[in-house]
Amino acid sequence: MSDFRISDPLLRKIVYAVGLMGVIAFGFYTFSLLKGGIVLFMDVLTPFLAALLLAYVLAPVVIHLQQHLKMGRIMGTFALYVMIFLAVFLLLAFLIPTVITEFIRLFNTLKINIPPLLNKLAQNPYVNVDSELIAIIQNRIHAIQIDYEQIATAILPGLKKMASGGLEAVGIATKGIFSGLGSVFSFFSFIVFVGIINFYFIVDWEKIRPTIRKMVPPARRERVFDILEKTDRAVGGFLRGQLTVSLIVGFLFATGLFALGFTGFPTLRNYCVLIGTAAAIGGFIPYLGAVMGVTPAILIVVFTGGVTWSVKLITLGFVFLLFGAIQAVEGFVLQPKIVGKGAGLHPLAVMFALLFGAQFGIGGMIVAVPLASIIRVLIREFYWLPIERREQLMIENREQT
């Protein structure tokens, strides 16, 4: 029986392209059919996935405490939980109220100072901006309101007084506490459930590897565990490393802007914690943290009133110098030394993984980046490295001939 082959190269390419598009379309169709079930499955697994990811990140810390403080596994886990509890307490007591206060202050500052700047643009003959468009934008800005009650209630009813100000908020906050008891109870129940599962994961963490080793056939153990070790370095290096880098970038921005506040532009001191927090959150995606830190700083400098443009330009120069310094430190020191070249994911890959994982809820977002790291290792091991070896062999053969 002879094989069917298309002799015309152009027709062969067209058939190949149509077939590829058909496979992609079928994949999307299958995905749309299975999405509901996958989302439900991921929702059920969310606490277990969150606990497993936390155990993966925190288990080395417990092992480090065991080795240096001579603790047992259970006592080391309890010690780590105490440190986490203290960190969360400081977060709730200081960082969140400060961020909310600075955000509200920044919103009010921009709302007051943007309309006068738009008026100047409308009056400038060189800019040639439609005055009616400026008026529409100004009306939209004036119409924007921050619902202080909703923001504070969504985070913690106890923060409502700080966000709204005044004694009237105390009575409203009391009502909000009772109306939001169901969601608050569900949230803390979820946290406690994840903590319990995470505790057992950490306690039994070192039993996982021997169990997996028994499940792998002896002939394939060396290859399988070689790939598992590379996967562990990639996933662990990225998660622990990128979290550390994001915290450092946020801290550098907060301290840098606080220091710039003494150079003649004290307004930056009022928002250093907010900007540092934004940089730390964005820093989970490589190199995005510095961008999220410098953008609000530029807006604050430009739109702050009562300051001459000469001072603003000088301050902008210092802000860009700070941005460049932090970018250089992250790119040349933090990323190679803490995350590592073998663990690094391209920023676009991280964003795509998070966006794709968001289609499956919280559980999907939890596993998205680790799964992307695993896929990267598998593609490199089974596809890219064989190509490199083949190319190297071809070069060596050419040199020999």
Q: What confidence tens digit (pLDDT) does each residue in 202-233 have? A: 888 778 778 888 888 888 888 888 888 888 88
137: confidence class by pLDDT, cuts 50, 70, 90: low
Q: What is the pTM of this model?
A: 0.66
| Residue 85: inside a domain | yes
Q: Quick one: 160 and 301 in the same domain?
A: no
> Residue 264 — pLDDT band, cuts 50, 70, 90?
low
Q: pLDDT confidence of 162, banded at 50, 70, 90?
A: very low
So what's the pLDDT on residue 131? 66
Q: Are residues 356 and 331 in the same domain?
A: no
Residue 233, domain member (yes or no): no
In a domain, 153, yes or no: yes
* Mean per-residue pLDDT, 50-58: 81
| Residues 64 and 168 occupy one common structural domain | yes
Does residue 86 share a domain with residue 158? yes
Three-class DSSP labels, the chain: CCCCCCCCHHHHHHHHHHHHHHHHHHHHHHHHHHHHHHHHHHHHHHHHHHHHHHHHHHHHHHHHHHHHHCCCHHHHHHHHHHHHHHHHHHHHHHHHHHHHHHHHHHHHHHHHHHHHHHHHHHHCCCCCCCHHHHHHHHHHHHHCCCCHHHHHHHHCHHHHHHHHCCCHHHHHHHHHHHHCHHHHHHHHHHHHHHHHHHHHHHHCHHHHHHHHHHHCCHHHHHHHHHHHHHHHHHHHHHHHHHHHHHHHHHHHHHHHHHHHCCCCCCHHHHCHHHHHHHHHHHCCCCCHHHHHHHHHHHHHHHHCCCCCHHHHHHHHHHHHHHHHHHHHHHHHHHHHHHHCCCCCCCHHHHHHHHHHHHCCHHHHHHHHHHHHHHHHHHHHHHHHHHHHHHHHHHHHHHHHC
- At 184 the pLDDT is 55
Range of the domain at 262: 240-339
Q: Does residue 66 share a domain with residue 209?
A: yes
Domain count within the chain: 3
250 lies in the same domain as 371: no
Confidence of residue 187 (pLDDT cuts 50, 70, 90): low
Residues 142 and 185 in one domain: yes
- Residues 82-134 have pLDDT tens digits of 888 888 777 777 777 777 777 777 777 777 777 777 677 667 666 666 666 66
pLDDT at 157 over 50: no
pLDDT digits over 324-365, tens only? 998 888 878 887 777 765 556 777 777 788 788 777 766 677
In this structure, the answer to whether residues 48 and 176 fall within a common structural domain is yes
